[in-house]
Amino acid sequence: MGFAQKKPIVKIETDTTQIKIGEQINLTVSVKVDSTRSVNFPEAKQFGSFEIIEESPIDTFREKDLFNLIKKYGLTKFDSGSYVIPSFPIIISNQSYQTDSISIKVLDVPVDTLKQKMYDIKDIISVHPKSNFWKYFWWTFGILLVLGSIAFYFWMKYKAKKEAEEELPPYEKAISELQKLDNFSLNEQTDYKHYYSKVTDVLKIYYESEVHVDVMECTSDELLEKIELLIDSEQIKLEKSTLNKLRETLKTSDLVKFAKYSNTLEDARSDRDNILQFISLTHETLPEPTEEELMAGEQRRILQAKRRKKRRLIVAASIVGLILLGTGGVMIAKYGFRPTMDTLFRKTSKLMLDGDWVYSEYGYPPVGIQTPEVLTQVKVPIPAGNEKAIVSMTNYAYGNLGKDLYVVVNHVNFNPQLEITNDQVSELSAGELKQRFGLEDFQLKSEDVTIDEINGTHKTGNFFKDSVAYQFDVYTFFAKPSLRQIVVVYKKEDRYYPEISKRIFNSIKLLKGE
């Protein structure tokens, strides 16, 4: 028994048929199908001339024996005129079902240029750039660390090979050194001289380390005499013929080294083999090491291992030190010695200057300003004798007077019914400064400044508090009936606080109240 499939229902609608340029149209496509059908909505960047700026996932709802699938699109258009969202296909179980088309009207946005006030072009204001110090520092450190690690790796590899050779027993080390002479090039007389010097040195080193006889500074005759004494005392057992062969080899060696005797390659190789054989025969006649000698040898190996470990730590520490010095050198070359040192040693004012600041708006009409931290509102009394002239007075402050940095935004709203002159404002401002800094008389340098078409003054001066020199910058702006004042006080001896004060000034915005 079969069941008849119900025909799908496709519906399209918008929340409006008229928009302004750039506004959004919300387009909703819904499809009702039974559970046996698959539905594919279109995937496109635009419908006709309308751009798709957003689209939602498919929402599915159960309605009795049908499923309602809903997908929403956000469309927009940036040209005025009459347009059509064209019909587009919905694929349901491999069959195409076309939607209806919808007409949309896009309107111009009216602009009255006659009512728009024209402003002069503003001067360029320098903005404190965000410091890339640590970015460059870690990049430089990382590159030098990689190079240093590679150098340390190859040094360790070289030292491990050399130490492995040094740890060989005297006999094996002597044989290894003599076998290496197979690769020795013998072309010139000096080559033969070096060759024979190496052969005799190997013999002497072996006798010093294995037989424990002091022979390194001996001549050939002295060496033979000491070996004869060893044979006579039966410390080593060698035949006369073996000793005679050694005597002939050492004689040839002396002739080559001191008399410029010319020898052949075959004879040189043969003399090397004679020395090798003599060392081997000596090794065979030596008694087995005693327990005390074995213990002494083990102690030497332990001591050598400790020395190697210490040497590696010293080399590793030296490489890290060189990397840090190299990184510091690069940073000093880029930023200068003092800024680099102040950043590395985290000088408070340098970190403050390079840090992320907070932008906030204070009072009414607002003063927008960037500061290291958010300013806190401080209640201040209206100066005596000015109760009728001043409606309200509010301060927003960071830090405290007498500390490294003190920032204040001062708002004074005057009685609009009174005629307040600029001279009165200047007198009030000067009196407030004297009261704030606790000074009877001080000289100020003054200059005119303009921010957001509001004229004001910048006053700067110095004072002492607790034997510490301070400098202050005061920016005062009066636009009836409001006075807005920004005060920055900082330690005079610190090189970064003037830059901090300048950064604060460059961030000031004098906003208009709504």
- The answer on pLDDT for 213 being more than 80 is yes
Find the range with the poorest average confidence among 68-72, 182-186, 253-257, 407-411: 182-186
Mean pLDDT across 257-281 = 87
Task: Check whether 141 has a pLDDT greater than 60.
Answer: yes
Find tokens 């590395």 and name the residue. 344
Residue listed under structure tokens 């690690």: 149
38-47, 193-202, 412-421 — most confident range: 193-202
pLDDT at 294: 64
Q: Of the given ranges (182-191, 228-237, 240-249, 481-490), which has the lowest mean pLDDT?
A: 182-191
Which one of 110-124, 332-346, 431-445 scores highest in mean pLDDT? 332-346
Lowest average pLDDT, out of 72-76, 104-108, 420-424, 493-497, goes to 420-424
Query: What one-letter code names the amino acid at 223?
Result: L
User: How much is the average pLDDT of 394-415?
Assistant: 84
Helix, strand or coil for residue 489?
A: strand
Lowest mean pLDDT among 177-191, 251-265, 375-389, 444-458: 375-389
The whole-number pLDDT of residue 14 equals: 92
Q: What whole-number distance in Å separates Cα of residue 290 and Cα of residue 304?
A: 21
pLDDT at position 421 is: 66
In the predicted structure, residue 379 carries a pLDDT above the cut 70: yes
CATH among 3.40.1000.10, 1.20.120.10, 3.60.15.10, 3.40.30.10 for 348-510: 3.40.1000.10
The pLDDT confidence band at residue 120, using thresholds 50, 70 and 90, is very low
pLDDT digits (tens, 9 = 90+) for 435-473: 666 655 556 788 888 888 888 888 888 888 778 888 888
CA distance 507 to 119: 20
Q: Indicate the residue type of 392.
A: S
Question: Does 166 score more than 50 pLDDT?
Answer: yes
Q: Would you say domain 9-107 falls under CATH 1.10.8.420? A: no
> Which residue would you say has higher pLDDT here, 356 or 4?
356
Give me the phi and psi of 271, to 5 degrees please.
-65, -40
- Whether 514 has a pLDDT exceeding 70, the answer reads no
Structure tokens at 301: 């190996």
pTM of the model: 0.44
484's CB contacts (< 8 A; 6+ apart) are 363, 365, 367, 409, 410, 411, 412, 476, 477, 478, 510
Average pLDDT on 195-200 reads 90
Helix axes 133-166, 170-180, angle to 10 degrees: 100
* pLDDT at residue 119, as a whole number: 41
Q: How confident is the model at residue 357 (pLDDT cuts 50, 70, 90)?
A: confident
Is the pLDDT reported for residue 305 higher than 80?
Answer: no
Longest CA span, the chain = 132
Is there a contact between 45 and 51 (Cβ–Cβ < 8 Å)? yes
Q: Rounded to an integer, what distance in angstroms lies between the CA atom of residue 70 and that of residue 51?
A: 20
Residue by residue, DSSP assigns 323-350 as HHHHHHHHHHHHH-HHHHHHHHTT-HHH
Q: Is the pLDDT of residue 399 over 80?
A: yes
Query: Is a pLDDT exceeding 60 seen at residue 4?
Result: no
Q: Is 411 exposed, middle or buried (0-12, 13-18, 19+ CB in 10 A)?
A: buried
| Percentage of the chain exceeding pLDDT 70 | 86
Query: Is residue 125 over pLDDT 50?
Result: no
The DSSP string of 238-278 is: --HHHHHHHHHHHHHHHHHHHS-----HHHHHHHHHHHHHH
The pLDDT of 300-307, averaged and rounded, is 76
Contact yes or no for 158/183 (Cβ under 8 A): no
pLDDT beyond 60 at 152: yes
- Is the confidence at residue 13, as pLDDT, over 80? yes
- For residue 469, the model assigns a pLDDT of 84
CB 71 within 8 A of CB 105: no
- pLDDT at 327 (0 to 100): 81
- pLDDT of 104 above 80: yes
Identify the weakest region by mean pLDDT among 138-152, 199-213, 342-356: 342-356
CA distance 339 to 351: 10
Nearest 5°: CA angle at 278, between 273 and 279? Answer: 100
**Mean model confidence pLDDT for the chain:** 80
The larger pLDDT score, comparing residue 365 to residue 1, is at 365
Per-domain residue ranges of the chain: 9-107, 168-285, 348-510
Name the amino acid, one letter, at 85.
Answer: I
| Among 480, 496, 471, 503, residue whose Cα is nearest residue 424 | 480
pLDDT band at 5 (very low <50, low <70, confident <90, very high): low
Would you call 100 helix, strand, or coil by DSSP?
coil
Cα distance between residue 45 and residue 469, in whole Å: 65
Query: What is the per-residue DSSP string for 183-247?
Result: G----SHHHHHHHHHHHHHHHHHHIIIII----TT--HHHHHHHHHHHHHTTSS---HHHHHHHH
Higher pLDDT, 141 or 121: 141
The pLDDT of residue 28: 92
Res. 126: pLDDT tops 70: no
Q: What is the spatial distance between Cα 176 and Cα 168, in angstroms, rounded to a whole number?
A: 9
Tell me, what's the pLDDT at 436? 62
